[in-house]
Structure 1
Amino acid sequence: MPNTQQYPNGAVQLDHTVVHASDRQLSAEFLAVLLGLEVGAPFGPFLPVDLGNGVTLDYYAMADEPIQPQHYAFLVPDKRFDAVIARLEAVGVTYYADPHHTEPGHINRLFGGRGAYFADPDGHNMEIMTRPYVRPRR
């Protein structure tokens, strides 16, 4: 029988997702360094980055196939947002206020928070934001 504490109110939760990368080590370390996280121990063909809420991004090397860029959004505390922007600037990675990367060096202020987008080594569109999106209710 499952531990009901893992599933509050019977909620479905994301456990992990696979991120395709041409170099799993490079991509996992890139994200971990920028977000102030750690790369975990390899798990089979996967190299995990633990996001701290029970979810991992499991980097998987696809060296012989083109990588189809995806979008990954990270909710970060205000203080960590400033640190991520500083790290992006320190390593020369351009960040943008918009998902289409037309406003370089700027952040957005959506939903009363701050946000920015940047590309990882394989072109995945990474987003950091300090407030979750306000979604319409049905």
Structure 2
Amino acid sequence: MSVQFNHTVVLASDKHTGAQFLADILGRPAPVPYGPFVTVALDNGVTLDYANHTDYDAPLTTTHLAFLVGEAEFDEILARVTERGIPYWADPMSSLPNQINTNDGGRGFYFLDPDGHHLEAITVPYGGWPRR
């Protein structure tokens, strides 16, 4: 079997709130409980498994999650972010507010979830699409 990314745990102050936020913004199906987690499934089989940080006796630290999306999905995600009044930036340093970038010939932007996780939507992977 090849090596594939399967899932990751995202620590949250409230796993239900965090998972629902992500599902809503990305236009994903409703999160599903699985053991101690609330999972958000992506189209490539990867799940983001939200857990309360207190269940892990761990501090709530933030992370960066980037989502490669199609052009139509990008427009829908950006519309959901702007409709909710969520601040967004063209850069990871948050110095270019209310803008998108055109890195690698695609489009991208950054925003924060309720716990301060840095989320990114991009239409072209870093470095561009591989040549065939």
TM-score, L = length of structure 1: 0.87
Runs of 4+ in 1 over 2 A off after TM superposition: 63-66
Percent identity between matched residues is 49
Q: 1:52-90 CA distances to partner (integer Å, 9 max, x unpaired)?
A: 111000000124753111000000000110111110011
Equivalent residue runs for 1:1-138 within 5 Å: 10-63=1-54, 65-134=58-127
Q: Say whether the 8 Å CA contact 1:39–1:47 is kept in structure 2.
A: no
**Cα distance in 2 for residues equivalent to 1:75 and 1:41:** 22
Name the SS for the 2:51 alignment partner.
Answer: strand
**Residues paired across the two proteins, number:** 126
Determine which structure has more spread, i.e. the larger CA radius of gyration. Answer: 1
Compute the RMSD of aligned alpha carbons.
1.3
**Cα distance in 2 for residues equivalent to 1:40 and 1:107:** 28
Q: 1:15-36 CA distances to partner (integer Å, 9 max, x unpaired)?
A: 0000000001111111111100
Q: 1:97-122 CA distances to partner (integer Å, 9 max, x unpaired)?
A: 00111111000000000000000111
The offset of 1:40, in angstroms, is 3.3
**Cα distance in 2 for residues equivalent to 1:31 and 1:41:** 13
The structure with the largest strand share of the pair is 2
Q: Which amino acid aligns with 2:37?
A: F
**Cα distance in 1 for residues equivalent to 2:30 and 2:10:** 14
Name the SS for the 1:42 alignment partner.
Answer: strand
Q: Which amino acid aligns with 2:90?
A: A
Name 1:5's counterpart in structure 2.
none
**Cα distance in 1 for residues equivalent to 2:31 and 2:50:** 10
Q: 1:31-50 CA distances to partner (integer Å, 9 max, x unpaired)?
A: 11110002332111100000
TM-score, L = length of structure 2: 0.90
Unaligned runs of 5+ in 1: 1-9
Name the SS for the 1:33 alignment partner.
Answer: helix
